[in-house]
Amino acid sequence: MSDLYERALELDAADPLAGHRAKFALDEETVYLDGNSLGALPAHVPARMADVIGREWGELRIRSWDESGWWTAPERIGDRIAPLVGAAAGQIVAGDSTSVNVFKAVVAATRLAGEGRDEILVDASTFPTDGYIAESAARMTGHRIVGLDPADIPAAANERTALALVNHVDYRTGRLHDLPGTTAALHAAGALAVWDVCHSAGALPVGLDAHGVDLAVGCTYKYLNGGPGAPAFLYVAERHQDRFDSPLPGWTSHAEPFGMDSGYRPAGGAVRGRVGTPDILSMLALEAALDVWDGVTIDAVRAKSLALTDLFLECVRAYVPEGRVTPITPEAHGERGSQVGLACADAAAVMPELIRRGVVGDLRPGLLRFGFTPLYVGFAETEKAARVLADVLAETPAA
């Protein structure tokens, strides 16, 4: 038995979150390191969905909008997400996709920023959808996009900056960007901070309220385990809500939606971020999935996430043949999210073979990406993943 394997067993034995794995539909043979793309299914969700479909839809039908709480689900679920991202109640609404919420947030931020600020700073390494949407929003609002390394955004913010749209964790490298410092620098320049927290929500403390973030968007199908295509969420800080002017003012964000008024009058609070009819089945699957967080602190999740990624990096260094992979995830804890990216010239051949052998990660161009979900990933399986990776690389000729 290797020293690292023994250490992994000790870490599992001392892991305060170890018991949470049983809440998920996972098999013991697979090492699932793809929760940063699609979180695992919480085991109780199918029974809840059978009730939603069979009774709420099948028997109550239209009455469920009121009697089963369907109508208020977006803001109710927003309040369940809120503590996980450091937000007080009443500031988050669940619904639509992340892409759609990026659009709402960027356009609304230009309106909050007011006249005379004609630049939108965008994280140049952003997940593509944010860049595409920001570019289109900028064309519509008459702003100019300035693409920057997130580390350079604080120094670049000036009197022309309306907002910056930044990813909290880089989807490729797993680098954790400086949310408090960047937000403070943007505010000092009179600009707004819009954060994409897709890769940090449910993985590490975000502190939206504590750090004075203006607007944020995130998805729920990764570390929040909401299911494929689960609704995203939009955070609008309370201080901005009265002036939040949505570019998609659908009827469900109206102050009196069933008044069927031909003139738009926005609802107060987070409801103002809604658009059209909520996707109830996905929404209620997400709501049920959030039960796995009962009694879990995000600090405990963060501590385990760092221990998992530390162990994985150490095992990769110890086991993997020299020169075949290069970690692109920062070593410093303060700069690391909950995933490890390994640059690998042979990634396209290696990842399918890894998956065939039961180690499920993600393939991105030239990159092997492994996500660590502390609620259900253990230490011994993390050590095993590095060992299997080493075997696959040893058997795969270098490109």
Ligand X SMILES: Nc1c(O)cccc1C(=O)C[C@H](N)C(=O)O
Ligand Y SMILES: Cc1ncc(COP(=O)(O)O)c(C=O)c1O
Let me know the angle formed at the C-alpha of 337 by 20 and 119, rounded to the nearest 5 degrees. Answer: 135
Q: Indicate which single residue of 68, 129, 136, 252 sits in contact with ligand Y (rule: CB under 6 A).
A: 129
Question: Is residue 127 part of an annotated ligand binding site?
Answer: yes
DSSP state, 352? Answer: H
Number of chain positions touching ligand X (CB under 6 A): 3
Question: Is residue 65 part of an annotated ligand binding site?
Answer: no
172 a catalytic residue: no
Provide the phi-psi class of 96: left if phi over 0, else alpha when psi is between -120 and 50, else beta.
left
* 136 scored as a contact of ligand Y (CB under 6 A): no
Number of helices (H), then strands (E), belonging to the chain: the values are 12, 13
Amino acid letter at 81?
I
Give burial (CB, 10 Å; 0-12/13-18/19+) of 265: exposed
* 148 scored as a contact of ligand Y (CB under 6 A): no
Kind of pairing, strands 326-327 and 339-343?
Answer: antiparallel
221 a catalytic residue: yes
Give the number of residues written for the chain.
Answer: 399
Tell which residue, 199, 107, 120, 127, has the closest CA to residue 153.
Answer: 120
Would you say 396 and 357 are in contact if contact means Cβ atoms under 8 Å apart?
Answer: no
Q: Indicate which single residue of 8, 198, 360, 385 sits in contact with ligand Y (rule: CB under 6 A).
A: 198
130 touches which of ligand Y, ligand X, none (CB within 5 to 8 A by kind)? ligand Y
Residue nearest to ligand X (CB): 171
Would you say 44 and 288 are in contact if contact means Cβ atoms under 8 Å apart?
Answer: yes
**How far lies 388's CA from each of 255, 312, 323, 395, in Å?**
56, 12, 17, 11
Binding mask 120-139 for ligand X (x = CB under 6 A): -------x------------
Q: Indicate which single residue of 24, 70, 171, 376 sits in contact with ligand X (rule: CB under 6 A).
A: 171
d(CA 371, CA 38): 10
What is the smallest separation between the CB atom of 360 and ligand Y, expressed in angstroms?
17
258 a catalytic residue: no
Task: Choose the catalytic residue: 221, 312, 372, 376.
Answer: 221
Amino acid letter at 163?
L
* 167 scored as a contact of ligand Y (CB under 6 A): yes
* 339 scored as a contact of ligand Y (CB under 6 A): no
d(CA 170, CA 339): 10
Cβ proximity to ligand X: between 127 and 376 the closer is 127
Binding mask 226-265 for ligand Y (x = CB under 6 A): ------x---------------------------------
196 touches which of ligand X, ligand Y, none (CB within 5 to 8 A by kind)? ligand Y
Task: Choose the catalytic residue: 80, 175, 336, 369.
Answer: 369
196 a catalytic residue: yes
Tell which residue, 213, 187, 189, 186, has the closest CA to residue 201.
Answer: 213
Question: Is residue 266 part of an annotated ligand binding site?
Answer: no
**Which span sits near ligand Y by CB under 6 A: 179-187, 195-203, 245-253, 286-294?**
195-203
* 37 scored as a contact of ligand X (CB under 6 A): yes
Q: Indicate which single residue of 196, 279, 362, 381 sits in contact with ligand Y (rule: CB under 6 A).
A: 196
Tokens (6 digits) for 373 = 């979900």
222 a catalytic residue: yes
d(CA 101, CA 113): 18
Distance of CA 365 to the CA centre of its chain: 21
Number of chain positions touching ligand Y (CB under 6 A): 13
Helix, strand, or coil (residue 144): strand
**Which span sits near ligand Y by CB under 6 A: 13-21, 53-61, 191-199, 332-340?**
191-199
329 touches which of ligand Y, ligand X, none (CB within 5 to 8 A by kind)? none
Q: In the range 256-315, which residues lie near ligand X by CB under 6 A?
A: none
Catalytic residue positions, numbered? 127, 196, 221-222, 369
Residues that bind ligand X (CB under 6 A): 37, 127, 171
